[in-house]
Amino acid sequence: MPIVVHWPGVTDGGMVIDEPVGLVDVAPTIMEVLGLPVPVEMRGASLVPLMLGERPDAPRFVVSAIKDDWRSVVVGRWKLIEHARSQHATDAALYDLARDPGETTDVSADHPIVMRYLSGLLGLYVADVDGRGMLASEPVEHVTDLDPSTEVHLRALGYLAD
C-alpha cells in the first residue's frame, strides 16, 4: 500500500521510495519534520533520510500483523508470512516479490536460508521487549514470556539457551 507524502520543497517533483516502509514509520517521520524529538521506545523509523535521498546501510524491514495470529516481514524482495503460534514450517510461506508481486507461489522450499533469516528477524522483532528496535545497544534487564513459536525460532537460531 503506498504512503503519499507532500512536503513542500522536498517532494515537489514527486518521488518513489523503493525501500519497504510501514505505517509505523509515519509518526517518527512527522515528528522529525516538525523538529520534535522521536522517543527511543517508538517503533518505526523516520522516512526523512529516504526522502532526502539517503540510502540505509542495511536493508530496511517491515513487520505486519495479520488476522488470526498471522504475521509477516518484508525485507527487500522477500516476504515471509507465518503463523505466530505454530511450530511447523508448513505454517509459513515465502514469496519473492520481485518475481511474484501477487504472492501466488510459495518458494520456501527453494530458499531455506532466506526462510531462516526472515523467521529469525521476525522472532527478534516480536521478542523485543523494550520497544527500541532490534539495534538497541543496551542489554535488556527484564524478561518477558515468549509465545512457543518465537521461543522455538530463537532456540533454533542459538539466541536462547537452556
What are the tens digits of pLDDT across the range 19-63? 777 788 888 888 988 889 888 777 778 888 888 888 877 777 777
Contacts of 70 (CB under 8 A, 6+ apart): 81, 82, 83, 84
Residue listed under C-alpha cell 519534520 = 33
pLDDT value of position 66: 64
Residue 156: pLDDT above 60?
Answer: yes
Please tell me which residue, 127 or 8, carries the higher pLDDT value: 8
pLDDT value of position 18: 74
Please tell me which residue, 162 or 51, carries the higher pLDDT value: 51
Interatomic CA distance for residues 77 and 99, integer angstroms: 8
pLDDT value of position 119: 87
The mean pLDDT value for 115-135 works out to 69
| 34 C-beta neighbours (distance < 10 Å), count | 7
pLDDT value of position 111: 93
Interatomic CA distance for residues 63 and 11, integer angstroms: 26
The mean pLDDT value for 85-90 works out to 59
3-class DSSP state for residue 123? helix
The mean pLDDT value for 92-97 works out to 92
Could you give the domains of the chain?
1-57 (no CATH), 61-156 (3.30.1120.10)
